[in-house]
Chains A and B, each alone.
Chain A
Amino acid sequence: MSGHLRARIRSSLLWPSLVASSLLCGCGGPELACPSPALPSATPGYAATLTGLVVVPTRAELRAASARERETFEDFAARLQEACAPSPPRSECALASARARLVALPAPDHPALFTSVDGALDAALAYAHDEVAVPDRDCEGLSESACDARAITRAFARAACELRGGGGHP
């Protein structure tokens, strides 16, 4: 199967199909599911705002990453998806633990890579929290930690997918 075709198939996968695809894969780690690309809503909620704030620095920092570092990040993002996609999300879908796992990822070729991504999260979270008050956040009853973790997971998945050509508005 060509890389292009594989990317097209991956891009057509939606979040609910994630569990099924990882079961079918039967190869240990979950597969990263790429969100459907589209023009953004003109009235984004809190979650979309936080996702958009995190995508840019993540994608920008990853551009310099080596192939194995990108692969490490994709695996990490796929595991986060597995925890955060279900409703309700699993207990591992929590901001602090997600960030701890992020900075612990190996980056042999660019040692500061994942700490740079994590550093950008601080600014993104502060901006989003400042712009959207707690009562106005579309968190679907989730705790702040899970809500933020889910939005960041979407950003990580988008960044990884856009870098490998599986995302972006066609």
Chain B
Amino acid sequence: MTIAIVLGGGGSLGAFSVGVARWLLVDKGIRPDIVTGTSTGALAAVLVASGEISLLSDLYANVATRDVLHRSFLGDLGVVVHGYANSVDPLRDLIASYLTEARRQRIVDRGVKLQIAATNLQRGRVEYGTEADDLARLRKFVLASCCQPALMPTVEIDGADYLDGGVMQMLPLQRALDLGATKIYACATSAARADRGPITRRFPNSPGTDVFNYTLRRAVLLMTDQGTDDTLALARARGVDVTAFRPATTLAADPLAFDPARMAAMVDEGYLRAKAILP
């Protein structure tokens, strides 16, 4: 049996998947052969692959927004001026701190295939950073995998621009199938029956803001909800044994707000959800 753990995107909501992974690795004793990750799942995938689940849950329960993003002083106008609304310099530093050469080598030594999904904007396809890459390239893939369109900048790798793997594959399950996984544990941050509530209008009289929020909602529905449903259905249609872990209801948190108390609560929610699904 070839076991894969697949970690989907969702910004701070990825804390839910961390709780799931904690249950799978520690309480169920599952040792994955393949770990794939997109966006926040890319960050988590590194420490799941290295077996350092304790460090991972500590990190997700303590990280704050300032450790990840630096909001442009122009606010949403940063999209017009720079092409993105947030600097990811703090995230780049965070990745450099935790994704070290020793850790990459540890993954190699454990024989785990690490697959970090990022979208190549030129070629219009998802490509993967792996444990076999040199450290600098792997770090770039992790960073690119986290960078949501418009909200964060693109990352240049080998002369091409890369962004969030979730643009095309919110749940990077296809790669696990391609690598021969026969048992897949898939962690998604969207509920199976998502109720995302009314669209927020920060400035009710400003049509421009509404366009932004409606476009954002459209992207979330397509990329996150529909994308996850389709991916799981595809794997099951191919006869692969998939256990999916999704929140019972839509997680009530802003994916770009990293509040430690809320993150810790989502880690716990993921842990208890996994315990209920796979006792």
Which of B119-127, B206-214, B263-271 binds A? B263-271
| A44: chain B residues within 8 A (beta carbon) | 52, 54-55, 58
Q: Please encode chain A, from 43 to 74, with 1 for each CB lying within 8 Å of some chain B CB and 0 for all others.
A: 11000111111011101100100000000000
| B51: chain A residues within 8 A (beta carbon) | 131
Distance in Å: Cβ of A113 to nearest Cβ of chain B: 13
Closest to B54 in A: A52
A53 vs B47: C-alpha distance when bound (angstroms): 14
Task: From the candidates A42, A49, A60, A162, name the one contacting B54 in the complex (CB within 8 A).
Answer: A49
Distance in Å: Cβ of B262 to nearest Cβ of chain A: 10
- A56-B19, A60-B19 known; A38+B62 contact, CB < 8 A: yes
| Pair A42/B260 contact, Cβ less than 8 Å | no
A137 vs B267: C-alpha distance when bound (angstroms): 27
Distance in Å: Cβ of B260 to nearest Cβ of chain A: 4
| A168: chain B residues within 8 A (beta carbon) | 61-62, 260-261, 264
Q: Please encode chain B, from 133 to 153, with 1 for each CB lying within 8 Å of some chain A CB and 0 for all others.
A: 000000000000000000000
- A38-B62, A162-B61 known; A63+B54 contact, CB < 8 A: no
Distance in Å: Cβ of A74 to nearest Cβ of chain B: 17
Secondary structure of the A contact surface, majority rule:
helix
User: On chain A, which size bracket covers the interface?
Assistant: 20 to 34
| Pair B63/A169 contact, Cβ less than 8 Å | yes
Secondary structure of the B contact surface, majority rule:
helix
Within 8 A of A (CB), among B251-279: 260-261, 264-265, 267-269, 271-272
Instruction: Indicate if A123 sits at the interface (CB-CB under 8 A).
Output: yes
| B61: chain A residues within 8 A (beta carbon) | 55-56, 162, 168
Instruction: Indicate if B200 sits at the interface (CB-CB under 8 A).
Output: no
Closest to A127 in B: B26
| Pair B260/A169 contact, Cβ less than 8 Å | yes
Within 8 A of A (CB), among B92-119: 97-98, 100, 102
Instruction: Indicate if B175 sits at the interface (CB-CB under 8 A).
Output: no
| Pair B55/A63 contact, Cβ less than 8 Å | no
| Pair A40/B59 contact, Cβ less than 8 Å | yes
Instruction: Indicate if B221 sits at the interface (CB-CB under 8 A).
Output: no
Closest to A40 in B: B58
| Pair A48/B54 contact, Cβ less than 8 Å | yes
| Pair A39/B264 contact, Cβ less than 8 Å | no
Residue from A44, A48, A162 whose CB has the most chain B CB atoms within 10 Å: A162
| Pair A60/B261 contact, Cβ less than 8 Å | no
| A16: chain B residues within 8 A (beta carbon) | none
Closest to B272 in A: A60
Q: Can you list 9 A-B contacts with CB-CB less than 8 angstroms, sorted by A residue number?
A: A37-B62, A37-B260, A42-B97, A44-B52, A44-B54, A52-B54, A53-B22, A56-B268, A57-B27
Q: Which residues of A contact B (CB under 8 A)?
A: 37-40, 42-44, 48-53, 55-57, 59-60, 63, 120, 123-124, 127-128, 131, 162, 165, 168-170
Given A42-B98, A52-B54, 12 more pairs with CB closer than 8 A: A39-B67, A49-B54, A50-B54, A51-B54, A53-B22, A55-B61, A56-B271, A165-B261, A168-B61, A168-B264, A169-B67, A170-B260
